[in-house]
């Protein structure tokens, strides 16, 4: 596996996760990003956050225990900001908006669902969306959207957009129309990660843009980010 490293110093490492591989070793035994990066930099790395296996994009790793503690606290306090690009099937109701739901994970199926507030085991989920473009295609209307997460719940973007009536293109877990199709890569990409450096305390922002279908339908909008 090629290590697409965007930045590295003595404290942090920032890399691009390819779609379709796990972040860390799992029961499949497939090659994973964390192990590949540790081989590249010849040291163990602290896993600060995760991306679902089908999702690609920018991730940050800690190279020291001090950096890991700092970044983990930053993530918990909402100062480590993650922004995503996604292609949705359908039209968003507004150019900009916020989705607030209560989600509950089903550990048996490894799926999450929207449940009423106060339901046992539920957690509040909040995201902000911005419509960047629309295209009429063979799949119907597709919408390019920027998503900013304010909470980090299991499958949050996937389940919230599906519940809002605009499921993600290629998502076989939460988009019924794709469940019986052949191999498709979900159109969800972590394109920007920003925060405070654990040692210098200076702000940072790292980005990487998606190129594959259906993002390729929106090259002009993506190029203007």
Active site residues: 52
Q: Kindly report the number of other CB atoms within 10 A of residue 68's CB atom.
A: 19
C-beta of residue 146 within 8 angstroms of C-beta of residue 83: yes
Reference 17, options 48, 60, 69; nearest CA is 60
Provide the Cα torsion 162, 168, 170, 176; round to 10°.
20
What is the Cα Rg of the chain in Å?
18
Provide the Cα torsion 212, 176, 167, 164; round to 10°.
180
């Amino acid at each position: 596996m090629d290590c697409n490293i965007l930045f590295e110093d003595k404290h942090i490492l920032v890399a691009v996760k390819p779609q379709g591989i796990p972040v860390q070793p799992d029961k499949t035994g497939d090659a994973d990003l964390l192990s590949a990066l540790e081989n590249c930099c010849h040291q163990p790395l602290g896993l600060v956050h995760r991306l679902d296996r089908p999702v690609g994009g920018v991730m940050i790793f800690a190279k020291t225990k001090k950096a890991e503690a700092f970044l983990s606290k930053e993530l918990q306090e909402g100062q480590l900001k993650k922004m995503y690009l996604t292609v949705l099937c359908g039209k968003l109701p507004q150019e900009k908006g916020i989705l607030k739901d209560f989600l509950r994970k089903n550990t048996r199926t490894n799926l999450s669902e929207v449940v009423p507030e106060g339901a046992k085991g539920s957690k509040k989920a909040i995201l902000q969306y911005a419509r960047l473009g629309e295209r009429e295609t063979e799949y119907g209307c597709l919408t390019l959207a920027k998503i900013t997460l304010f909470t980090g719940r299991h499958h949050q973007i996937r389940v919230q957009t599906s519940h809002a009536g605009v499921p993600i293109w290629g998502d076989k877990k939460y988009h019924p129309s794709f469940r019986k199709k052949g191999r498709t890569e979900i159109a969800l990409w972590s394109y920007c990660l920003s925060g405070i450096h654990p040692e210098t305390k200076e702000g940072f922002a790292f980005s990487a843009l998606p190129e594959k279908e259906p993002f390729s339908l929106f090259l002009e909008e993506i190029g203007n980010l």
